[in-house]
Each structure stands twice: as C-alpha cells, then as structure tokens.
Structure 1
Amino acid sequence: MQKLFLSTAFILAFSYQLQAEELIDTDVLDQEIVQEDVPAVLPNDSYGTTESRLAQLETQVQKLTDKIEVLEHHLKLKNTPAATSLTTLPEKKAQANFGEDLTPTTSDATTLRTDDAQTLYAKAQEFLTQGEYDVAENALKELIKNYPKDPLVINAKYWLGETYYVQGDYRRASVSFGEAYKSYKIIEKSTDPKDKEAKKLSFAKAPEALIKLVFSLKGLGKTEAACATLEQLQEEFPNQAQNVKKMVEKAKKDLTCPKK
C-alpha cells in the first residue's frame, strides 16, 4: 500500500513539474513544432546519413500509427450503445457553431451533464475522427474551462491529451493525461451524484490515461518516469481492458524497464 501511495505521489508530482516546464519552455516548444513541420521529402544530402533518414521515417510512421489508433478507437465508440448518448446529438446541435446559444430544454436540464458540455464533447469527438485536431483541441479546452464540474471533464482531459499525442506534442500530452488521471483519483471515493456519474463515464479512461502517459514520457526521453508510471498502472489496475493490455505489452518491449 505504501509503495502504491509513493508511486501515485510520484506521478502527481511529475505532472506538476511538466506543467511548470510547459509554461517556462513555450518558446522552445514553438521551435520544436516548427522543426517538425519540415517537409518529409528533402534532398539526400540534407539528411547526412542513411541512419538519420531511417530515424525520420520511423518517427513519421509512428505518428501515423498513433493517428490510426485514435480513429479505430472512435469507430469502436460509435458502434457501442453506451457511447451513443455521448456522440449522437440532434442534427441542429451537432452543426451548431462554437459560441452559439444552445439553451437546454426543460427535459435536458434534468440530466447531470449540461447540454452545452455534451455538445462540445460530441463536436470534439467528431473532429478527432476527422483528424481536425486543432478544432477538437479548442472544443475540449472550452468544455474544461467553462464546465469544470461536468462529469465529462475527465474524458475531455484524456481526449485533449490525445490531440497533442497524435501530433507528437508529448509534453502537453503528458500534462493532459496526468490531469485526467489526477481528476479521476480526486473523485474516486466521492459520494457526490455528479462525481458518481463522472466515475461511471471515466472509469476506463483512468488506466488509458496512465498508459498514454507512459508513451508520452517515453517520447520525451524520460524513461525512468515512464517505467514508474507503467509499474503504477499494473499495480493499480491489474484487470485491464484488452486495448490497455496490448499497449502495456508494447510499452514493456519498448522501454525494457529494470525488473524489481
């Protein structure tokens, strides 16, 4: 139990560190993003060596693989009944522009999830499926900022991390995945009705946020932190969904963490 507490504390502390670094290193991040926008096809002498060309190709393939995983995940969500209430909205609301007044009806007002938050979440999911990550990011940020107590916020933080992750922005992805996990831990034992609804909606996202945090930390070159997070995931969530199990096995191979 003490070991589990220390691991959780490590992840939370590391997430705060990443948030601080994100605020400090904004200019550096912008430079990195610009560098990543270099066209994929350049003259051979621009790369220098065969190894460097292969490394760039491997990075591009990994990013494409990550995007495919996100799209596959959304297709699965759309084919499950439980996801219908979160992703299917009346046509008028689904086509509404950001900032449009979407006043909930009397029947809508009785639900735990606010109508606007649900609309933003559905929009973000649609944009993610279409690969419009910037627009999805804006919708998720708006939801998190304007509806911080909504049961969908934890899921929104997770998907915000995905928008960064598929674009190779591992620092911001780490912060968002860490925030999703922290938010879940805060409400885990709460008896508040909204927190109960949030737990029901986000239970699967807690282990998913941790495994994606593992890969984000790996992308930042923080192997020790990635291994600690992987260990935390396996101890706290021993009964994992199949998609998480596959990612855990991949992380084990990629990281070669020291055995304890």
Structure 2
Amino acid sequence: MKLKAALLASVLALTAVPALTWAQTAMPDPLDDRSAKRLDKMDKVVRELRAIVFQGRDTGKPVVVQAAETDAQIAALSERLTDLEKTLTKLNGQNETLTHDLDQARQANDGQKARADALEQRLVALEKRLADQEVATTNADTAAAAATSAPTSGDPGAAFKSARQLLLDGDYGSAEQAFAGYVEAFPDSAKAPEARYWLGETQFVREAYGDAAGNYLGAVRGWPQTNWAPDAVLKLSRALVALKKPADACKTLDELARRYPKAPAAVTSRAATTRVQAKCAA
C-alpha cells in the first residue's frame, strides 16, 4: 500500500514539471503590429459601411458618403478660400468704382473752383468799375459845381494851366469840364486847338469816341505844325475805328503820313497797328 502511494507520487511529480514549464513559456502572438493595424482599419471600414447601409435603410434618402477627415478639412478650406477670393474680387471692383467716383468728384470740384474763381474775378472787376464810376461821377459833380460857383478865369493862360494840371493829376472828369469851359470861354485863343486836343483825350479815355473824334478834328483843323498834332490825328483815326468807320480812319492815316512825315516813331508805330485794325489797303 505504501509502495503504490510512493509510485503515484513519483508519477505526479514527473508530470508536474513539464506542465509548469509549459505555463511559464509565453505563446508567440500570431498577429504582428502591422496586422493589428490592418485589422483596425478593416474594422473601421466595416463600421462605416454598416452606418451607410443603416442610414439608407432607416431614412430612405440618398446615402452621402463623407470624405475622410483630412479630405473634408481640405475641401472646407478650399471652399472658404474660394469664398474669400470672390469677396476680394468684389471688394476690388467696389474699390475701383469708388476710385472712379472720387476722381469724378475731384474733377467736378476743380471745375466748380475754377468757375468760382472766374466769378470772383468778374465780381472784383465789376466792383472796381463801379468804384471808378463813382469817383468819376463825384469828380464830375465837383467840377460842375466848381464851374457853376466860379466861372472861368478871365486869364486864358491860367485857365489852360489849371485844366492841364487836372489832367496830369488823373482827374479826367474835372479836366474834361475845365477844357470844355476853356474852349467855350476862349474859342479864338492860341491855345484853343490844343485845349480841344486835351478835351478829346479826356473823352477818349472814357470811350466817348464820338465826342473825342469831334474835338480831335477841331484840334487839327488847318493841320497845325505842333508837337501834339500828329498824335491828335492818330487818335482821330483810332476813334473812327472804334466808331466802325474804317474807310474814314484809313483816309485820316493817309493824311497823317502826308502831313506829318517826321512824326515821332511811337506815333508811326501805332499808326501802322491802326492800319491793320482798319484793314487799310497797303
């Protein structure tokens, strides 16, 4: 009995050793890392396919297969980039339109400014003319009052000198009144023709060409050989041009050249210019 027990114990001991060794030795993994990744990928694909199938079955709508995550992001970014490009193109167009409108507004503003400047200049010129007319009217009134209150002096020399000084002072209104008074008071004096010449000058200045022409003509009647006579004939021709009587102006210029061949250069030069204005024959 003891012998059988000992033999059984020996057998159990022998069989226990390999079992222990088997338990301690690790079994090799039939799937390496690559295979595990492939299995995971296949499992993901299967799940996606199942989701697609269930989507079509449950909703009855066309199945929309979503792109992979990276492709979806690229597509979204591409769409956003396209939108941004469209927006930029639109903004560029608006900017060009605004630039064009701004240029038009600037041109219009420049035109308005030019017109405003022209109007300002015209206004200044009109104000000056009005002021000059007021001064001339005042001077004329003063001269008339003086002529009324103090008749022409009985001394022709003093009266002529006084009228000449008014002319030199630029007081044409008073000078005109004084020379007119002299001619009326001393028509036969030696200075009467010259007084008519200066009277014509005061009238020519204020563009009273008809009156000026009459006094120039009276001054040169008889063709006096004086230093002022050639200029009086020239002014007569210019007054006739202003009165639109070119033929008479040309005849007067012919007489100027014939009567006063030694006239000053300034007179002959202005006479040539007047010939052109009157369109006199060469």
TM-score by length of 1: 0.49
User: Whose relative contact order is higher, 1 or 2, with alpha carbons under 8 Å and at least 6 apart?
Assistant: 1
Pick the structure with more helix per residue. 2
Structure with larger Rg: 2
